[in-house]
Amino acid sequence: MIAEELSLGKSSIHTILREHLDMKKVCAKIVLKLLNPEQKLRWKECCADWKTSEENDEFLERVITGDESWIYDYDIELESQNSVWKNKESPRPKKSRKSKSKIKVMLLVFYDCHGIVHHKFAPEGQTANAAFYMEVLKRLRDRVRPELWEGRR
């Protein structure tokens, strides 16, 4: 595009970008969600508060949290479609995936401070109702404390 706009050869543009401007072509990093500056600042403040609180160490060891997310099938994007020129000082570009396909599955993930404890893909057509969640939570309980629940099944 630059070569066409300036009526120069592609090799000349490549030389200018690489050697004279010290730029290279990189792919954008895929992130789940792009945060605005206010959200980033709030997130940073919350993390700093938790990090400095000493009583949180013991508490956090016992916390298990969960999340559910729709996992969509995407059309593969070629690296060449996702590349941009940047210099050494500029940050790597980021972008979030916007186009979702009709193919999707719900994923429930439960994790603690050490990583994922349990995950479950909802069967196709399954409604995430109370009965479904009860079954998932029973399996989570069994996975987390099998010795505690051995005699209660």
Mean pLDDT per 10-residue interval, the chain, length 153 residues:
88 88 79 80 86 69 84 63 76 66 81 86 81 90 66 41
- Name every residue whose Cβ is closer than 8 Å to that of residue 141 and which is 6 or more positions away in sequence: 149
pLDDT of residue 148: 45
What radius of gyration, in Å, describes the C-alpha atoms of the chain? 24
Phi, psi of 64 (to 5 degrees): -120, 130
3-state secondary structure of 86: strand
Domain ranges of the chain: 27-79+96-152
- Name every residue whose Cβ is closer than 8 Å to that of residue 112 and which is 6 or more positions away in sequence: 61, 63, 64, 65
pLDDT of residue 98: 57
pLDDT of residue 153: 39
Pairing of strands 104-112, 94-95: unpaired
- Check: CB of residue 142 under 8 Å from CB of residue 149: yes
